[in-house]
Amino acid sequence: MFTAWYLLLLVQPLLIAAGRVDRHRMLGRAGAARAAAMVVLGCYVALVAAGRPGGFIGVRVPPLAFLTIPFLDMAVFGVLVSCAIAKRHVAQTHKRLMLIASIGPLAAAIARLPFDFIMASGPPAFFGLTDMFLLPLVAWDLATRRRLHAATLWGGLLVIASQPLRLWASGTDGWLRFAEWAVNLVR
């Protein structure tokens, strides 16, 4: 499901460049449905993983606390894709929001890379490496516009600001009660 999303992310601008706006829109409708399915599937799989006896594979953080990371990942992805769909007639905003929405979920893949510094540093490393994917867009905006596009600024800030929020929320009583309740829904 997620791999197909990234393939779609590559195909869509190619369709626009080829003048195939009709196909871009057709695939866009399918992409919107895929994004909604990704949010549901991402949350469900995270709940199943958190409910396993060993929790998340290779994660030394208690499963209910770690659940904030994939849950807020899916929330941020859903918000940014929804905003991109709402702004689909404003090309510069739409494409930036779609790209930024797709950057957040990369943290899960980066966290699984077999590098000692990532394993040893945990969230600061994989969030920091994920945030680096925002830098080319920031550089592009500064080079072509001499300032950040509003979508780059606000979308990038949402991704970055959500990261410490996840870490903070993960240890709160409210989150842990919610996480326990949610995990019990899928048992």
> d(Cα 15, Cα 63) in Å, to the nearest integer?
41
Q: How far apart are CA 126 and CA 121, in angstroms?
A: 8
CA-to-CA separations, 47 to 44, 148, 167, 184, in angstroms, rounded? 5, 37, 17, 9
What is the pLDDT at residue 59? Answer: 79
Residue 108: what pLDDT? Answer: 86
Q: What is the pLDDT of residue 60?
A: 80
**φ and ψ at 147, to 5 degrees?**
-160, 165
Distance in angstroms (rounded) separating the CA atoms of residues 15 and 95: 13
Give the number of residues written for the chain. 187
User: Is the whole-model pTM more than 0.85?
Assistant: yes
How many angstroms separate the CA atoms of 171 and 159, rounded? 20
* pLDDT by residue, tens only, the chain of 187 residues: 899 999 999 999 999 999 999 999 999 999 999 999 999 999 999 999 999 988 888 778 899 999 999 999 999 999 999 999 999 999 999 999 999 999 999 988 888 888 888 888 888 899 999 999 999 999 999 999 999 999 999 999 999 999 999 999 999 999 999 999 999 999 8
Predicted local confidence at residue 87, as pLDDT: 97
